[in-house]
Structure 1
């Protein structure tokens, strides 16, 4: 039995196309090698390490979506069985319905194809039912994806044989040709559907990747996300205000001129190869003519165009120069808007976020906005226009077959790029999440530098950061590996189209059927000029897709709803009169209830009033709700029951800015900017003079301490003020509040970090700024609030006692108990600090083992 038909040699590879013997043998051998050898390795790995999938495919999706995915999976299985049966059926029909005897390559290729499809079925089923413990299922493995890609590419390579007269059936001149053509259509459609469904992976949509379209889960909230371009209109609408410079006519003119240059560049791209053809034709005829004018025009056009992508041309450089200002406008608008939005969000939101992760999202999102504009407007859009121009030109000036080749190649290339890139989206998203976690881990560790040192946790932090890097690199590897797969598929398509078009053009020129050498030069120049940006199309599309992914988190931030907002028509706070009516109150709480979560109420129907110019103190154990009252008054949160009035106005009916401008707060935990002491004090009133800053520092009893520093008021306090002691930080905060000179004063454990002597010094300063000002104090040391006009004792979110210091002591209640405990503790501390004294009154030497 011969391996190839009579008069056909396996070694004769090319003659206006390839022989079926060579084509089918090589295709079957390559595809079977991929799926059998590497598939066997995959099955071994699954046999050793895989565990049953914990949840059925489609878990967590709607019933309709689950049925749809199950149907698509059955289509995958059915098409695989169909293709396996096809090669056996075709072999059986050979010699009967089909023309020609059975030869060796038919038996070999049929067996290889059958084995390949059976192996692919085994891999599909094991991927559906099992999963590797370290890698959650996110789609089919590389073996199946490469196999289906190679299978589809092998069917497309058959188009290279359109002009081969022997063996192939494209001319459809007999019954056998019609049967073969029908078989080819079935095979082509089946392999195309398998390729597309392989990217979708309907049989693997488990709880780990149950996405609306391509099995994508948002790992932050567990909700399914669709493709990158899902809700494209909403994303563009969100980004649109930052693109068009509405307030700058000059920038608007720059945008219009940039698009004019872009359109002019498309015309230049068409005429460069046309003049190249004219130059060649002027030299290839019987009479050679020195056409210096054509050469000058050609060089001038190349000067304007630059390289194949226009990367060095005058038009591109001028457009890039004009676009700099527009790009900066977009960056500035996006960053300012996002930064302002972050500052408008509630304290609850900020307490639940990681600063490093937010900054990473902010930076990546703003960078991606600019990159997106450049890629779409100056890469993708011009490439698509060039493709349509090229197809139209080749159909009109050459032959419809050239236009068809260009159109099929470009369309197939774009389709493959889009589908594979969409499939890769899940890996890029996972890599971004791992990158966010890595950055957040490093920032969080460095911000807590002192805590790490306190507990000797350097090794633990380094190991945790190393583990975060490992997780990121694992996701990065998946992204890079799938990128290589995409590049390989793209190369197959581009090379096939270039080969088909070049062979057809050379054949027509050689047979003298209407094309000249100059037209061949025009064709090759135009195709190469077109293919260079087309090769970048995948890169730009991936960049656009990556930009959309990067912007998703930024869009999430922009869509984050503000918990505390000004009511419609809210006006500024009207400050109380310096001489109010008798009995009027500046601050009033009426039945206020609040809880940070629905299941844990913090305040329970709190009611009290702070009269004008008076001081009210809040005391009680930790967790009783004292600091929460301060936060509600400053409107970090809105009350869930009752109302708060300031100057007779409900805080919900006035603007937040006016309310907070009238209130000065000295918090318990003071956080400073990583800037100079002068800057941190001046932050209380940014337009304050240096003399006013120094005066505020003196009142806060920190001026002399600042002068002992090497740089004085220019001393940098470090990250979060870590270079200063707790007492120094608190005194800076007090100076800042003194400089602000607010109408109301809120002191939240303002002297908690101070020693006794400094506390006494600052008490006079606090008395100075609180004098004749409405003041609300949270105190732990009861000795600091004995002067208060009223003391409220809180316990478990309720006011259990109220009155002046003497009144509460006389009641003998909770306040009297707390006072007695503090006196007892203070006496004990004094006894510990005093030397031991024997009973006879003599002073005994301090023993070496006596420690304070």
Structure 2
């Protein structure tokens, strides 16, 4: 037997379960407003049927009774009917739109809140454009599903019932004849559902691919221009757009494949009704009003009947986007809210790593049983080749990732046993990849401290050597930074980020190449500001430019996830080990007199 795709209601764990969930979880909240909308829809459906019925009465008065007064009266009733129809249609349309807007906004809030409770690892495995697609198309799909259901029940079904009532009143036999088109139409429509599901999923992922290419091209426009990648990116975009267009054309062909058959069946039904109705008027003495009233009701019922017949297809198409949204909302949070845990209570802010090991992926050891102590009020520097695990240490201290083995404590408190919020509230971080948010310079600095005053912001900017260049802009601190801070130079962005850390005034400072983007003059000034920032605070700093950490209280050389050397600058130079090699290499590279073929 051929495999016939099942209807929505055939799968208790699939589409029907999802629809039931959307109705009970999201639509039920607005049941009072839905009730009002249904009442207005019922009145609107009644007026539609009333108009069809009144047409027959007018025809009878004109051609049978020839009563001009009744014609005028019935004409006035028709005007009143359509006035009521217009008002009720406006009312239920506005109410349903408001409900849809509320549900859309709520789903967007839910998705964004869920994303804010995900770990860094969660995002590293996905492209950000995927979430944009889920936030827009996915959330819209939920409202589309509910709108389809409500309109199908409240508008189409009620209108169909009312119009069928008129048809049965005028001629029950002719009405039954008109219903003969339903079985073949439903049989064909159910065969299209499975095909629609696959096409709808492809359409969603294809749209996400377009957003991905657009986002990467615009955010990396400097790289695109520098490497002459315009044509390459256009080819990628062309491939994505072509795939979506091709899929959309397939969906258009499949979803509308029912139209020719349904229109043909409808034509036969209407022609048969006209033939039979005309025969009854001519040969059997039926009134022309009955005939016209029946035909009007039949024609008006055709569109809602067709929409109800296609409901299965429309729902399955929209349910794909709803599933995409709920896949993220329903998944367990990779960084769940842990505010119920004890808060971090600091006295000295002594940071210790106890045999800490970490893996981003199985069998890829990044840190191997690392041990060190960052003493209170002192600067601990991590140096070494790229990829050694230095930035991972700071990520673990911020609990952007959780340690695989071992423990990290601050003043004897395991950071895994305290709330992330309290940990991060008492930690200031400046990363090597500076990120500024859309808004002004003042707003970006203020992000470091909730409730920061203008005086706090200016003071932090001065300490970060940012005040002078900020005041050089016509708008000063109200200057927009642009997307990702594109309106500022690299050094300016770095100093705004340092000011953001300074205004926080946290007892633990984490610096990851905080002066990397600065010129020599700015670096000297910012280095003085950082020394002021770090005074009496526990500071862990990562540096590749070793001259910036020469005065650190402890220098740890990290290679292959292990600490291979530790000590102060002078001691490490005297030992002649890895640190001394790094320092001498940088010194030769910085010296203009160094020979080009100097040995490493």
What TM-score do the two structures reach when normalised by structure 1? 0.65
Whole-angstrom distance in 1 between the partners of 2:420 and 2:434: 22
* Pairing 1:297-316 to 2, within 5 Å after superposition: 297-305=77-85, 313-316=86-89
Q: Which residue of 2 aligns with 1:84?
A: none
Q: Which residue of 2 aligns with 1:790?
A: 554
Whole-angstrom distance in 2 between the partners of 1:793 and 1:227: 60
Give the Å deviation of 1:718: 2.5
Name the SS for the 1:300 alignment partner: helix
Q: Which residue of 1 aligns with 2:55?
A: 276
**Superimposed CA distance per residue, residues 158-204 of structure 1 (whole angstroms, 9 cap, x where no aligned partner):** xxxxxxxxxxxxxxxxxxxxxxxxxxxxxxxxxxxxxxx5x76xxxx
Q: How many residues align?
A: 593
Whole-angstrom distance in 2 between the partners of 1:253 and 1:599: 57
| Of 472, 483, 498, the match for 1:734 | 498
Give the Å deviation of 1:321: 2.8
- Is the CA contact 2:23–2:146 (under 8 Å) kept in the aligned structure 1? no
Work out whether 1:243 is the aligned partner of 2:27: yes
Give the Å deviation of 1:772: 1.1
- Is the CA contact 2:511–2:540 (under 8 Å) kept in the aligned structure 1? yes
- Is the CA contact 1:589–1:643 (under 8 Å) kept in the aligned structure 2? yes
Work out whether 1:260 is the aligned partner of 2:39: yes
Work out whether 1:232 is the aligned partner of 2:11: no
Q: Which residue of 1 aligns with 2:229?
A: 457
Pick closer, same or farther for the CA change 1:286–1:356 going to 2, 3 Å. Answer: closer
Give the Å deviation of 1:715: 2.6
Whole-angstrom distance in 2 between the partners of 1:228 and 1:468: 35
Pick closer, same or farther for the CA change 1:496–1:742 going to 2, 3 Å. Answer: farther
| Of 202, 205, 217, the match for 1:430 | 202
* Pairing 1:435-450 to 2, within 5 Å after superposition: 435-450=207-222
- Is the CA contact 2:346–2:411 (under 8 Å) kept in the aligned structure 1? yes
Question: Which has the higher mean CA deviation after the structures are superposed, 411-420 or 351-360?
Answer: 411-420
Work out whether 1:527 is the aligned partner of 2:298: yes
Pick closer, same or farther for the CA change 1:390–1:422 going to 2, 3 Å. Answer: farther
| Of 240, 250, 253, the match for 1:468 | 240
**Superimposed CA distance per residue, residues 724-764 of structure 1 (whole angstroms, 9 cap, x where no aligned partner):** 22221111110011011122111011111222332221111
| Of 349, 366, 373, the match for 1:602 | 366
Work out whether 1:815 is the aligned partner of 2:579: yes
| Of 469, 472, 475, the match for 1:708 | 472
Whole-angstrom distance in 1 between the partners of 2:534 and 2:563: 24
Whole-angstrom distance in 1 between the partners of 2:168 and 2:130: 53
Pick closer, same or farther for the CA change 1:352–1:384 going to 2, 3 Å. Answer: same
- Is the CA contact 1:572–1:655 (under 8 Å) kept in the aligned structure 2? yes
- Is the CA contact 1:387–1:530 (under 8 Å) kept in the aligned structure 2? yes
- Is the CA contact 1:684–1:737 (under 8 Å) kept in the aligned structure 2? yes
* Pairing 1:35-114 to 2, within 5 Å after superposition: 72=2
| Of 684, 687, 700, the match for 2:448 | 684
**Superimposed CA distance per residue, residues 203-250 of structure 1 (whole angstroms, 9 cap, x where no aligned partner):** xxxxxxxxxx79xxxxxxxxxxx99993332354257544344xxxxx
Work out whether 1:368 is the aligned partner of 2:154: no
Q: Which residue of 2 aligns with 1:296?
A: 76
Pick closer, same or farther for the CA change 1:332–1:428 going to 2, 3 Å. Answer: closer
- Is the CA contact 1:573–1:654 (under 8 Å) kept in the aligned structure 2? yes
- Is the CA contact 1:228–1:422 (under 8 Å) kept in the aligned structure 2? no
Whole-angstrom distance in 1 between the partners of 2:514 and 2:311: 56
Q: Which residue of 2 aligns with 1:559?
A: 330
Whole-angstrom distance in 1 between the partners of 2:188 and 2:376: 74
Q: Which residue of 1 aligns with 2:105?
A: 332
Gaps of 5+ in 2: none
Question: Which has the higher mean CA deviation after the structures are superposed, 436-445 or 320-329?
Answer: 320-329
User: Which structure's CA Rg is the greater one?
Assistant: 1
Whole-angstrom distance in 1 between the partners of 2:200 and 2:11: 12
Give the Å deviation of 1:267: 3.0
| Of 460, 466, 485, the match for 2:257 | 485
Name the SS for the 1:746 alignment partner: strand
Work out whether 1:501 is the aligned partner of 2:273: yes
- Is the CA contact 1:570–1:653 (under 8 Å) kept in the aligned structure 2? no
* Pairing 1:370-389 to 2, within 5 Å after superposition: 370-379=143-152, 381-389=154-162
Name the SS for the 2:360 alignment partner: strand
Whole-angstrom distance in 1 between the partners of 2:67 and 2:132: 67
Whole-angstrom distance in 2 between the partners of 1:414 and 1:384: 16
- Is the CA contact 1:617–1:788 (under 8 Å) kept in the aligned structure 2? yes
Whole-angstrom distance in 1 between the partners of 2:40 and 2:595: 85
Q: Which residue of 1 aligns with 2:432?
A: 668
Whole-angstrom distance in 2 between the partners of 1:610 and 1:621: 21
What TM-score do the two structures reach when normalised by structure 2? 0.90
Name the SS for the 2:436 alignment partner: coil
Pick closer, same or farther for the CA change 1:598–1:806 going to 2, 3 Å. Answer: same
**Superimposed CA distance per residue, residues 406-431 of structure 1 (whole angstroms, 9 cap, x where no aligned partner):** 43334543453343254233233323
Whole-angstrom distance in 1 between the partners of 2:117 and 2:19: 21
- Is the CA contact 2:354–2:371 (under 8 Å) kept in the aligned structure 1? yes
**Superimposed CA distance per residue, residues 60-83 of structure 1 (whole angstroms, 9 cap, x where no aligned partner):** xxxxxxxxxxx63xxxxxxxxxxx
Q: Which residue of 1 aligns with 2:64?
A: 285
* Pairing 1:528-677 to 2, within 5 Å after superposition: 528-537=299-308, 542-567=313-338, 570-577=340-347, 580=348, 586-677=350-441
**Superimposed CA distance per residue, residues 91-130 of structure 1 (whole angstroms, 9 cap, x where no aligned partner):** xxxxxxxxxxxxxxxxxxxxxxxxxxxxxxxxxxxxxxxx
Give the Å deviation of 1:815: 2.2
- Is the CA contact 1:380–1:541 (under 8 Å) kept in the aligned structure 2? no
Name the SS for the 1:751 alignment partner: coil
Give the Å deviation of 1:367: 2.5
Q: Which residue of 2 aligns with 1:350?
A: 123
Gaps of 5+ in 1: 1-70, 73-196, 201-212, 215-225, 246-250, 306-312, 834-852
Whole-angstrom distance in 2 between the partners of 1:647 and 1:736: 25
Pick closer, same or farther for the CA change 1:656–1:500 going to 2, 3 Å. Answer: farther
Name the SS for the 1:603 alignment partner: strand
RMSD value, Cα: 2.9
- Is the CA contact 1:630–1:746 (under 8 Å) kept in the aligned structure 2? yes
- Is the CA contact 1:573–1:659 (under 8 Å) kept in the aligned structure 2? yes
Question: Which has the higher mean CA deviation after the structures are superposed, 621-630 or 429-438?
Answer: 429-438
Name the SS for the 1:345 alignment partner: coil
